[in-house]
């Protein structure tokens, strides 16, 4: 009896993992569409890559004080940038 429950639990977990993966792909696709539309319409602050002035100032300060890794972490925390994108963003800061 316990083995049947265990097998059902594994099957259920696999199905949920598959569904979650599918939903993550859809969300990513929609984010990319929104980012493209925001860029085309000139509303960059709607983009998931938009960085507010205060976060940009904080990242700039962290970079100037030699804490580039912390700056990259902050940028990633507040945006949907990948590690490489956030690193390039921080490198381009004054």
Please state the φ and ψ torsions of residue 3, each to the nearest 5 degrees: -70, -35
Q: How far apart are the first and last CA of the chain?
A: 65
The pLDDT score that the predictor gives to residue 73 is 96
- Is the pLDDT at 22 greater than 80? The verdict is yes
Residue with tokens 């319409």: 41
Residue 34 CB neighbours (<10 A):
13
Total count of residues recorded for the chain: 94
Is pLDDT larger for residue 11 or for residue 45? 11
Give the pLDDT confidence of 41-87 residue by residue, as tens digits. Answer: 888 777 888 898 999 999 999 999 999 999 999 999 998 899 999 99
Percentage of residues in the chain having pLDDT higher than 70 = 100
Which DSSP symbol is given to 1? -
The pLDDT score that the predictor gives to residue 47 is 80
Contacts of 72 (CB under 8 A, 6+ apart): 83, 86, 87, 90
The pLDDT score that the predictor gives to residue 49 is 82
Question: Angle, to 10 degrees, between the axis of helix 53-64 and the axis of helix 83-92?
Answer: 80
């Amino acid at each position: 009896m316990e083995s049947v429950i265990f097998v059902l639990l594994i099957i259920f977990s696999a199905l949920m993992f598959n569904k979650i993966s599918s939903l993550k792909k859809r969300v990513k696709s929609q984010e990319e569409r929104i980012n493209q539309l925001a860029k085309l319409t000139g509303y960059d602050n709607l983009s998931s890559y938009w960085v507010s002035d205060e976060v940009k100032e904080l990242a700039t300060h962290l970079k100037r004080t030699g804490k580039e890794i912390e700056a990259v972490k902050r940028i990633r925390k507040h945006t949907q940038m990948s590690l490489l994108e956030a690193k390039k963003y921080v490198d381009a800061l004054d």
